[in-house]
Structure 1
Amino acid sequence: MPTVEMTRHLYRFFPVLENRAIRVPAGSVADILRGVDALAPGFSDYVLDERGALRPHVNLCLNDTIVIDRKTLSDYVPEEATLYIFQALSGG
C-alpha cells in the first residue's frame, strides 16, 4: 500500500492522522485522497475544490516527482510509492 505524508500543519486540522503511518490502497491520486478522507472526514474538501481539482495552494509529489494532473488527479500511485501533500503557508 502507498504511504501518504503531509506537511505538519495539516495535522492541526486533522489530528486523527498525526503520529500514524497513513497507508491506503494503490490507485489514482484521486483514489488515494479518497482513502485519506475515509480516515479523516473532510480532508479531501480541504485540499480539493468544488470540482474535485487540487486547490491552488496545495501541491502533491509522487515520490520525487510533482503531480502534473491537478484537475482529474489521474496519476497512478503504485504500491510502494509515497504521496507527499504540501500546502503553502502565507501571512504577513
Structure 2
Amino acid sequence: MARVVLASALSRWLPQAAGQPTGEVELDIAGANLGDVLEGLFALHPNLRGYVVDEHGAVRHHVAVFVDGDVIRDKRNLTQVLGERAEVYVMQALSGG
C-alpha cells in the first residue's frame, strides 16, 4: 500500500474538513502504479479528481506529485510502478508574492 499525503491546500476539500482548520492528510491506498493509487484516492474522495487531474487524466499544471521524494516529470504518464511502502505526496502549487 502506498501512503498518500495530501497537502493542506487539497485536504481542505475533504468532507471531514468542513468548517475546521486543515493540515496534511495521510491515507493508505492500494495500487500497483501511480495511476492506480490516484484512482483509489478519487474513489474515496471523488471531489478531488477535478483539482488533481484534468479531463484527459493528466496531473494538472498547478499540481505537483512526488513519489518517494522525487517529483514526477511526465504528468501524463502515471504508470510509474510503486514500491509496497511508497509515499506519494500531492500538493497544489500556490502562487503570489
- Please classify the TM superposition score into its range, dividing by the shorter chain length: 0.7 to 0.9
Given candidates 42, 62, 69, the residue that maps to 2:74 is 69
Secondary structure of the residue aligned to 1:30 is: helix
1:10 aligned partner: 10
Identity, in percent, stands at 34
RMSD of equivalent CA atoms: 2.0
SS at the partner of 1:42?
A: helix
**Aligned: 1:29 with 2:34:** yes
Query: Which of 81, 87, 94 pairs up with 1:82?
Result: 87
4+ residue runs of structure 1 moved beyond 6 angstroms? Answer: none
Amino acid at match of 2:7: T
SS of the aligned residue for 1:71 comes to: coil
Q: Is the 8 A contact 2:7 2:25 kept in 1?
A: no
TM-score by length of 1: 0.85
Residue pair 1:4, 1:84 contacting (<8 A) in 2 also: yes
**1:71, CA displacement in angstroms?**
0.5
Q: CA deviation at 1:68?
A: 2.1
Q: Distance in 2 between matches of 1:42 and 1:63?
A: 25
User: SS state of the match for residue 8, structure 2?
Assistant: coil
Pick from 49, 55, 58 the counterpart of residue 63 of structure 2.
Answer: 58
In structure 2, the partner of 1:45 is: 50
Q: Is the 8 A contact 1:5 1:85 kept in 2?
A: yes
- The SS at the match of 2:12 is helix
Flag structure 1 segments of 5+ consecutive residues without an equivalent: none
AA aligned opposite 1:49: D
